[in-house]
Structure 1
Amino acid sequence: MQTNLADFIKNTRDGDEAEAILRACVHCGFCTATCPTYQLLGDELDGPRGRIYLIKQVLEGAPVTDKTQLHLDRCLTCRSCESTCPSGVRYGRLADIGRKVVEQKVPRALPERIKRYVLKETLPRRWLFTPAVKLGRLVRPLLSKDLQDKLVPARPAGTWPQRAHARRMLVLQGCVQPGLAPSINAAAARVLDALGVALYAAPEAGCCGALRYHLNDHDGGLDDMRRNIDAWWPHVSGEHGAPHAEAIVMTASGCGASVKEYGHLLAHDPAYAARAQRISAMTLDLSEVLAGFEEQVRELAGQRQATGGDRIAYHPPCTLQHGQQIRGKAEQVLRAAGVNVSLCADSHLCCGSAGTYSMLQPEMAAQLRARKLAALDDTGAPAYATANIGCQVHLQAGTDKPVLHWIEVLEHALNPAPPTCS
């Protein structure tokens, strides 16, 4: 695709990157077939190819309108188009660049500005969000249905193992997951403990940065990333006598997709570029870690491995299968433990969660969730599992069937007794 960037972005870091991405696009349209919003709306401008044209026009200096902003806002950034694209177009990065420019050129209405401000200033702050969730659960009947749907019942975290192991790995606590589902990281710690790995967190680490960054607060998102690098660095480098970690484990695939991009997003920062590269290189999704323990999982499962005691339908999050290009690993580990795992039809399509999308585009998100839940229900499984807290909460709001993180399913397969509350 030929480009002629406007002076305001020409020869800048974002401009050079955007131009390279635009030039890779060959207009083939394969991406439209796997775009959830195009399937719902049937509008070329609500598909990747149409949005690429819009961003190209914006970067070439064409007038930017509310309509331009609407079509870009309605994009889930699920990156399914990237998995489909034969030319390797990095649409997600182009969308980030284009949205940032549009945000600067098109003032939003006050209610929308307030909503986005509240989201980016409250959700990333664990010290604020977790107490708010606890309070919300206490007064749940008084809240709106939308808020009630977000406050899914919390399962007890249980005990965090304290045994020492030669192998140690860091885990990101994140921002919303500790408040909404503290059971996830605790289950991961217990499973890894049984496999001879100690999992621990750096308390100073927090939001991965994706939330602010994808709400067009790039500076705030990058600051979150720098804070995490500072928190992890002693454990990575061995400085100050901190215990050494061999990997940084992500139990939320949305966070993993973000942290794996730290090296690219901070490449321009001389103080953080090298450290960010190393952090990204050390970051692994939990399924990548446990795939290396498949035989041990099979041994721990014992007879359950042969009988298939649990049955679930698994929803692979977009941030895992498209963002990180990881497919099949969680299912593989679960099957090693004797779990009967099904994938629903069109498992490559987004459930509609997409970070804050379900709060900013609730109607579209609800339609996508209904489609996903219908497909999951068609599997006949009595429970569902996924690998990202956002997907888990979003799907649970639309069904009475339990929606779990897959590590909780794995722990139950290895140890059917419920965890003991601490």
Structure 2
Amino acid sequence: MDTQLADFIRDTHAGRIAGEILRKCVHCGFCTATCPTYQLLGDELDGPRGRIYLIKQVLEGREVTEKTRSHLDRCLTCRSCETTCPSGVKYSQLLDVGRQVVEAKLKRPLRESLPRTLLKTVLPNPALFAPAVKIGRALKPLLPSSLADKLPPLPETGRPWPVKQGHSRRMLTLAGCVQPTLAPNINAATARVLDRLGIELFEEVKAGCCGAVRFHLNDQARAKDDMRRNIDAWWPHVEGGVEAIVVTASGCGVQVRDYARLLADDAVYAGKAAKISALCRDPSEIVAAEGERLRALLPASPRGKLAFHSPCTLQHGLQIRGIIESLLAAAGYVLTPVADGHLCCGSAGTYSVLQPELAEKLRINKLTALNAGGPALIATANIGCLTHLQAGGMTPVRHWIELIDEALT
């Protein structure tokens, strides 16, 4: 795609990235067929190809309009288009650049800026998020459905973290910002599973939000501060020889694995960020690598029918497909088929709060597909998908690692 970037962006780091991505696009339209918002709305500008044209116009100096921003806002950043693209266009990276420029050039009205400010202030801060959830549960009948959906019942008290066994293999894990409040058993279950496999898992309390919340709300400067804080918190453990950084929410995993790219122009942190990204692992990668040992520990007993929802961040972001399904099958579950498994459930971080109508339609479609085979359970790999799907249906939704943990007890 021929591109003539405007002076304000041409010679910048972001401009060089955008120019390279735009030149790769041959506007074939394959991406459109797999775009969830295009399928719902049928508008070319609500598909990747149309949005690429809008971003191109903005970066070439065209006036930024509300129409342009609304089409970019409606993108889920699910990256299904990247999986489909035959030219390897990194659409999500281009979208990051485009959204940042639009945000800088066009002030949002208060009705749009206020919820975004609240989200990027409260969600990344557990000290604010935990009491907000407690208050929200008490006032749940009075809240808009888009917010009430995000407040699952009080989590059951799970079994504790394993007592330290002195394993020679040690790995870090990210506690994250919302997961400790909404589903604290997920990391504990991961620790118990890895303990059975001879691996010690521990959290570093000085680490916090991975940066994804602020980054995808166009507050990229503060998001990078979140990343630097995590790098500083983890670095002594990296120097001490920790084997991996295990991230149990696939959305956070995509972000941490992207630290190397996002901080590549930071003279102080670039090298450390590259090391952190290289150490980042989804728990499925760790458990699958110990497959033989795991299967020897699992009892040979059937556990019923289950549908697996693969988060977009898992299959399109981390490019992990089929691994978790095989682990669940080994644990005794019969996996039911799920039509259009590549499509987003509508959670997409803060998307379900900011775009509730589209998110609800996507959730209905996803739950219909997941429940078609009559499963007793739905499993997933991301806290956002888990809470979003659980709020929309009657079938219990669990993180897959909890099910492996239960199968091992």
The TM-score range, normalised by the shorter chain, is over 0.9
- Could you tell me which amino acid in structure 2 is paired with residue 258 of structure 1? Q
Q: Establish whether residue 373 from structure 1 lines up as the match of residue 347 from structure 2.
A: no
Residue 150 of structure 1 aligns to a residue in which SS? coil
Contact 1:315 / 1:343 at 8 angstroms: preserved in 2? Answer: no
Residue 8 of structure 1 aligns to a residue in which SS? helix
CA deviation profile, 1:42-73 (whole Å, cap 9, x unmatched):
00000000000000000000111000000000
Instruction: Give the aligned partner of residue 117 of structure 1.
Output: 117
Query: How far apart are 1:413 and its partner, in Å?
Result: 1.8
Contact 1:9 / 1:15 at 8 angstroms: preserved in 2? Answer: yes
Query: How far apart are 1:143 and its partner, in Å?
Result: 3.7
Query: How far apart are 1:213 and its partner, in Å?
Result: 0.5
Q: Distance in 1 between matches of 2:380 and 2:343?
A: 13
Deviates more, 1:403-412 or 1:6-15: 403-412
Residue 175 of structure 1, aligned match among 174, 177, 181: 177
Query: How far apart are 1:163 and its partner, in Å?
Result: 2.3
Query: How far apart are 1:150 and its partner, in Å?
Result: 1.2
Instruction: Give the aligned partner of residue 271 of structure 1.
Output: 268
Q: How many residues align?
A: 407
Contact 2:170 / 2:200 at 8 angstroms: preserved in 1? Answer: yes
Deviates more, 1:258-267 or 1:150-159: 150-159
Q: Establish whether residue 289 from structure 1 lines up as the match of residue 286 from structure 2.
A: yes
Aligned positions of 1:6-21 closer than 5 A: 6-21=6-21
Instruction: Give the aligned partner of residue 224 of structure 1.
Output: 226
Instruction: Give the aligned partner of residue 277 of structure 2.
Output: 280
Q: Distance in 2 between matches of 1:229 and 1:157?
A: 29
- Could you tell me which amino acid in structure 1 is paired with residue 20 of structure 2? A
Q: Distance in 1 between matches of 2:150 and 2:375?
A: 23
Q: Distance in 1 between matches of 2:69 and 2:42?
A: 18
Residue 356 of structure 2, aligned match among 346, 359, 362: 362
Q: How does the TM-score come out when normalised to structure 1? A: 0.95
Residue 233 of structure 2 aligns to a residue in which SS? helix
Contact 1:312 / 1:385 at 8 angstroms: preserved in 2? Answer: yes
Contact 2:27 / 2:49 at 8 angstroms: preserved in 1? Answer: yes
Query: How far apart are 1:209 and its partner, in Å?
Result: 0.4
Instruction: Give the aligned partner of residue 312 of structure 2.
Output: 318
Contact 1:388 / 1:405 at 8 angstroms: preserved in 2? Answer: yes
Q: Establish whether residue 53 from structure 1 lines up as the match of residue 47 from structure 2.
A: no
Instruction: Give the aligned partner of residue 128 of structure 1.
Output: 128
- Could you tell me which amino acid in structure 2 is paired with residue 373 of structure 1? L
Q: Distance in 1 between matches of 2:144 and 2:39?
A: 30
Residue 326 of structure 1 aligns to a residue in which SS? coil
Aligned positions of 1:22-421 closer than 5 A: 22-153=22-153, 154-164=155-165, 165-238=167-240, 244-304=241-301, 308-415=302-409
- Could you tell me which amino acid in structure 2 is paired with residue 411 of structure 1? D
Q: Distance in 2 between matches of 1:107 and 1:397?
A: 33
Q: Distance in 2 between matches of 1:207 and 1:62?
A: 35
Q: Distance in 2 between matches of 1:29 and 1:139?
A: 46
Contact 2:288 / 2:327 at 8 angstroms: preserved in 1? Answer: yes
- Could you tell me which amino acid in structure 2 is paired with residue 27 of structure 1? H
Query: How far apart are 1:139 and its partner, in Å?
Result: 4.1
CA deviation profile, 1:95-130 (whole Å, cap 9, x unmatched):
000000011111111121111000001100012112
Q: How does the TM-score come out when normalised to structure 2? A: 0.98
Q: Distance in 1 between matches of 2:10 and 2:338?
A: 45
Q: Matched residues, percent identical?
A: 62
Contact 2:303 / 2:333 at 8 angstroms: preserved in 1? Answer: yes
Deviates more, 1:34-43 or 1:163-172: 163-172
Query: How far apart are 1:377 and its partner, in Å?
Result: 1.0
Instruction: Give the aligned partner of residue 2 of structure 2.
Output: 2
Contact 1:166 / 1:197 at 8 angstroms: preserved in 2? Answer: yes
CA deviation profile, 1:203-248 (whole Å, cap 9, x unmatched):
011100011011000001100000000010000012xxxxx41000
Deviates more, 1:404-413 or 1:77-86: 404-413
Instruction: Give the aligned partner of residue 420 of structure 1.
Output: none
Residue 264 of structure 2 aligns to a residue in which SS? coil
Deviates more, 1:133-142 or 1:147-156: 133-142
Contact 2:5 / 2:59 at 8 angstroms: preserved in 1? Answer: yes
- Could you tell me which amino acid in structure 1 is paired with residue 238 of structure 2? V
Contact 2:208 / 2:230 at 8 angstroms: preserved in 1? Answer: yes
Q: Distance in 1 between matches of 2:281 and 2:367?
A: 28
CA deviation profile, 1:178-205 (whole Å, cap 9, x unmatched):
0111011111111111111111000011
Residue 245 of structure 1 aligns to a residue in which SS? coil
- Could you tell me which amino acid in structure 2 is paired with residue 264 of structure 1? R
Contact 2:348 / 2:384 at 8 angstroms: preserved in 1? Answer: yes
Relative to 1, partners in 2 of residues 1:275 and 1:36: Cα closer, same or farther, differing over 3 Å? same
Residue 113 of structure 1 aligns to a residue in which SS? helix
Query: How far apart are 1:409 and its partner, in Å?
Result: 1.4
CA deviation profile, 1:75-95 (whole Å, cap 9, x unmatched):
000000000000000000000
- Could you tell me which amino acid in structure 2 is paired with residue 382 of structure 1? A
Instruction: Give the aligned partner of residue 419 of structure 1.
Output: none
- Could you tell me which amino acid in structure 2 is paired with residue 336 of structure 1? A
Residue 198 of structure 1 aligns to a residue in which SS? strand
Structure 2 gap segments, 5+ residues each? none
- Could you tell me which amino acid in structure 2 is paired with residue 273 of structure 1? A
Residue 191 of structure 1 aligns to a residue in which SS? helix
Contact 2:30 / 2:85 at 8 angstroms: preserved in 1? Answer: yes
